[in-house]
A and B are shown apart, each in its own frame.
Chain A
């Protein structure tokens, strides 16, 4: 089965078995290993990517469902010269990560959250991150990062 889609702004054609998950296509075929797999029940959110700008769990979606869409992964967030996206920069500044494994999914969820709720308060950010598990940070600095990143995205 051939599936055509845009990944990080580039048109790609992926040749894969029909039951291939989007995360498998990203990691194994397109070698975009920044998207991680942390569970097998779509609970942890480490695999979160943006599809047409909306956060989706790529372990819970078939590649076929992504046909014709615009998928953005963590590798597509920084500018061409390597400058980090404001949300990435906020995570660094606020120490919103430790081991880094859940971080790409967190950043993608945070960017989507900003789009939906640009003026979210702390409690709304906490609720908005309900689908992403982090075991290291206790979330406090992630929440701080999202608030700061969201403010930076507005300016």
Chain B
């Protein structure tokens, strides 16, 4: 079935209300911390209070004698049991051909701690309170060492080194594009716009803190790990094959209801391994539930780039070449997907929506004494979009052209389009997105609104951002061509029951995206059922055949495509059964709307009749057809999908206080085929607010001297709240994706990718009359106020 046929099926494009909501709204959801197992013990981690220190000794004697303590394990115990460190799942080769530096990442620190919050020991006790109290009694003798937390400081000569194998803190240098051609293009340019900017470090902050329960069962010599995680099969694969050396079939990973992920729950974390390992060692089920303050220390952070970029143009503002250097802070260790973020998920997106003939991007990755950095909503693509869309607006101002005009002059208009940085966009309509966003944002009324603001002593500005992202991670052949040693497919199993209802087992994982509804719509549409007749099962390696999980807006376009493939097989077999029932040839059977018809006749059987026949095969050609109607398919995408759009933000700035108020925000996206508009709009709302959060308020701050995390709770890290923003105006353009059978492109990250540059461009537009040209995120009142004062001075 092709994408255009799919889009016309019933239920596709319908805002079906979510099947999962009843349990979430009545308190019947089951998140990991809600699970209680018989005889379950509790765990609390002793964490490093230092950013960098040698561990001279750990004295557990007093703590072991504390009430309720079952066991205390540290790095020596890990080493004695030959448990490996955490593997990094994505390997990058430096430009000189050397592999990236991959220092060991022990699950409990052995001789050194490398960031505040690094895992030192796990204390297991009958109750959490007892575990906490005993943790206070674990005596760790630290010898503090000098630390480095800022990526610029990490490069300084003589800077403290986080790892012996990387004495200069350098992890890798990676580049893409033709440097010679780019340099040549700069020579003949009429104008060059330059920019230096920081993409601020963020804490993902899903509302459910991470949690896990390790449960070893001696009777079967097997393990169950319940964990708040976005990809249970990958978690199991990494843990069993690389860390613990266990046979996979002896480990079941269950990710039940998960309270938001945003990337923070993709990774294999030390705690998950510790609990699995310790549950056997202590022969007890053990639960760990992360505190929020602990989450700030030990969840992988996002972003943290420092970049310099140069854009060469001809006299008409047409882009000739783009040259970028980025320093990426990896934190103290390489988290699961970390090296992929500033490289293939970032640099390959720097062509953006523009026909820039030459692009060259160079990335240096550095270790620091901070929490590891990894994928966070958008992962690399927000960093690329922020850099490109900031420099494009800056170029417009320098060239005396409007922000929309410079974009229009450079938009790609013909597809497929091969960028100079590896990707080939299959389809899109960037002008339509721009037109629609300008219409919805009422750009024509801007001057009048500016005058109104001025009358109140306020400054009004407008900011544009035309983003493109690569979703549907990750075509194995494309990833392989970019040097990665892994690609990502997805698996779907469709099990038709005798009475015609269906259970689908998907390797995608829902942690708020509504898969139980959207996926059911897909299957119901294909088979001519109602969505209520379809149940979706996910998040359990014991039930789902295989899976790669949910991130990178891959669920529908990769996971959904795998299900479509399985449905193709179901349809093919069902046609044979129908042909048998109607004594026809299966080549003569048409299937539509849940009915099988013999071409050119009025003979018909329903999907339900066929399903029943498959399971009650008394009148069945058993020599030609197996009973049952149950098919599995794996799908590896042939290309990424390319959602794109234009976002327009309008702000009012109070020059006396530096307070920025977002007055209106318009998001027009091209997600290809939309299955459930209600769900899609909800994803955009959430993404945009996370992006505005990055632009105006969110920021992880480490003390540059001591390496302490200053923003370690919601008292210090500013989270967006309901009264911080207006409603978002949403519009859609649809150019269906040509490389998957649904035509879908993915919508989960768009909002967080497109919005930060729109906001900062708007603030800079507002501040232009005061002479402010630069501003880094977050544009908090004190930063904006300081920029105004500096411009005045």
Contacts and interface: CB of A to CB of B under 8 A. Distances in A.
A55 interface: no
Nearest to A42: B714
Contacts of B260: 98-99, 101, 135-136
A40 B25 contact: no
Interface in A21-62: 27, 31-41, 43-44, 46
A133 interface: yes
Contacts of B681: 95
Contacts of B293: 40-41
A84 B27 contact: no
A132 interface: yes
B775 to A, nearest CB: 23
A150 B163 CA distance: 57
Interface in B709-723: 713-715, 719-723
Contact of B722 (A36, A98, A132, A135): A132
Interface string A107-141: 10000000000000011011101101111111111
Given A98-B513, A129-B723, A141-B682, A135 B206 contact: yes
B725 A139 contact: yes
A33 B289 CA distance: 14
B736 interface: no
A100 B512 contact: yes
B25 A92 contact: yes
A41 B259 contact: no
Contacts of B22: 84, 92
Contact of B26 (A36, A39, A75): A75
Contact of A140 (B289, B685, B715): B685
Interface string B171-194: 000000000000000000000000
B728 interface: yes
Contact of A136 (B15, B20, B686): B686
B207 A135 contact: yes
Contacts of B207: 36, 38, 44, 46, 99, 101-102, 133-136
A78 interface: yes
B277 interface: no
Interface string B23-40: 111111111011010000
B215 interface: no
22 contacts: A31-B36, A33-B27, A36-B207, A38-B292, A40-B291, A41-B292, A44-B292, A91-B21, A98-B260, A98-B512, A98-B682, A99-B259, A100-B25, A100-B512, A126-B723, A130-B723, A133-B207, A135-B260, A136-B512, A138-B682, A141-B685, A143-B727
A52 B15 CA distance: 37
Contacts of B719: 43-44, 133, 135
Contacts of B17: 92-93, 95
A88 B514 CA distance: 17
Contacts of A37: 33, 209, 289
Given A88-B26, A103-B25, 5 more contacts: A41-B715, A44-B292, A97-B25, A136-B682, A138-B751
B678 interface: yes
Contacts of A99: 24, 206-208, 257-260, 511-512
Contacts of B725: 138-139
Nearest to B261: A99
A143 to B, nearest CB: 6
A128 to B, nearest CB: 8
B133 to A, nearest CB: 12
A127 B688 contact: no
A105 B207 CA distance: 12
A58 to B, nearest CB: 13
Nearest to B291: A40
B728 A127 contact: no
Given A129-B722, A135-B686, A100 B262 contact: no
B450 interface: no
A40 B514 contact: no
Interface residues of B, number: 60
B204 to A, nearest CB: 8
B208 to A, nearest CB: 4
Interface residues of A, number: 55
Query: Which among A130, A135, A137 has the highest number of chain B CB atoms within 10 Å?
Result: A135
Contact of B727 (A33, A84, A93, A140): A140
A93 B34 CA distance: 26
A77 interface: yes
Contacts of B20: 100
A90 B683 CA distance: 19
B279 interface: no
A1 to B, nearest CB: 15
Contacts of B36: 31
A74 interface: yes
B721 A129 contact: yes
A139 B721 CA distance: 8
B291 to A, nearest CB: 5
B788 interface: no
Given A98-B514, A126-B722, A74 B27 contact: yes
Contacts of A75: 26-28
A138 B688 contact: yes
Nearest to A46: B207
B690 interface: yes
A97 B514 CA distance: 10
A103 B24 contact: yes
A142 B23 CA distance: 17
Given A91-B21, A91-B25, A44 B714 contact: yes
A50 to B, nearest CB: 13
A107 B25 contact: yes
A29 to B, nearest CB: 11
A133 B17 CA distance: 23
Contacts of A103: 24-25
A78 B682 CA distance: 25
B259 A36 contact: yes
Nearest to B260: A99
B302 to A, nearest CB: 13
Interface string B257-273: 11110100000000000
B689 interface: yes
Contacts of A127: 722-723
A139 B292 contact: no
Contact of B27 (A32, A38, A140): A32
Query: Which among A37, A91, A104, A136 has the highest number of chain B CB atoms within 10 Å?
Result: A136
Interface in A64-79: 73-75, 77-78
A143 B126 CA distance: 42
B42 to A, nearest CB: 11
Contacts of A107: 25
Interface in B287-301: 289, 291-293
Contacts of A140: 685, 727-728
